[in-house]
Amino acid sequence: MRIQTRTVALALGLVSLLACESRSPATEVIARKQGGGGLLVPTEPELPLFVGDGIGSPTRAVLTPEGRLLVTDARLRMILRVDPASLQPDQGLQLRTKPTAVGLLGARIYVGSPDQQTVEIFAARGGRALGNFGVGAVGYAMAIAVEPTRQLVYVLDGQSRQVKVFSAAGGLVSSFGGPGPDVSQFLTPTGIAVDTARQEILVSDYGSPPTVKAAVKIFGYDGVYKDVISGAGKCGMISCSGGFSRPQGLGVTVAGRIFLTDAVLGQVLVYDRATKALLRTVGSYPMLHLPVDAVIGRQGDLFVVSNLTSRIVRFAGEAAQ
């Protein structure tokens, strides 16, 4: 009981830290011609050789075209490229500030930088800085997801409590959400995913217990609210009698399975998009100690970012079920 209580305190502490300072689905291999531009193709990141001692404090992750993971590491102030077999970093991009979110679109890596109130853009090959979205464009990038066909970058801004939609070059296209208790608004948004199969945007939100429950809110590509999966049950300091209480990152499969990490429960909850029914849970404490993101692998593996164990945990074939 003492260990679990400490886990909750640390979980809430990390969330508080990230809210003051931090899944996106797998990036699809799609080539698309832009008007007036060239051919935009996904690029496998090739960053400087990683020299260090494993993973420090991982938070968000995204899949590369070849099935590797790009992981934000707040302690090391790096974007790590992690091998899916060894689950260890082999390359890394050193940053000036703590990264809170990461996205990959074409040949560009997008990194949330709350210290600068921007999203920084780097070349996937070599890590050269290409610019940013502009100071103040994003107050606090909690999470990033991309829509490869339309070449759009969705940034969950924890400061304005909005989803801000940018072009690949960083121009603001639209935004939706905003602070408030309404189903189409956010109180404490934490994670975002793009469901390309259903053309939906999923956003996880802590809510404001006990009056406003935690939820996964679902929007169309146009930003119009469509549906909600509500965190149900009575939640105390260390557990819930049902549903979820502290949702973080999430991923979604083509078959409509939503994988939602819960930082307090130490689990990944699997929901059916059509029925919104809880199908099963994956993992448990202490294997998952403050899980904060979920990534769907190319072969149906599920990769979970476990922050307090400084690990990426792989569940073979879980996302293929």
Q: What pLDDT does residue 318 have?
A: 94
Q: Is the pLDDT of residue 58 over 50?
A: yes
- What is the pLDDT averaged over residues 59-74? 97
- Region of 87 please: left (phi>0), alpha (psi -120 to 50) or beta: left
Mean of pLDDT over the chain: 87
CA-angle at 35, arms to 34 and 38, nearest 5°: 50
- Is residue 91 pLDDT above 50, yes or no? yes
The pLDDT assigned to 321 comes to 86
Contact in structure between 202 and 256 (CB atoms under 8 Å)? no
For position 217, what pLDDT does the model report? 98
pLDDT value of position 244: 86
Domains of the chain listed by start with CATH number: 2-320 (2.120.10.30)
Omega cis (within 30) before 45: no
Residue-level pLDDT at 123:
97
Nearest to 291 by CA among 310, 277, 275, 315: 310
- pLDDT tens track for 185-197: 999 999 999 999 9
pLDDT at 292 over 50: yes
What pLDDT, in 10s, does the model give residues 213-259? Answer: 899 999 999 999 999 999 865 555 555 556 788 999 999 999 999 99
> What pLDDT is recorded for position 279?
95
pLDDT score at 212: 86
Identify whether the C-beta of residue 119 lies closer than 8 Å to the C-beta of residue 135: no
d(CA 141, CA 155): 6
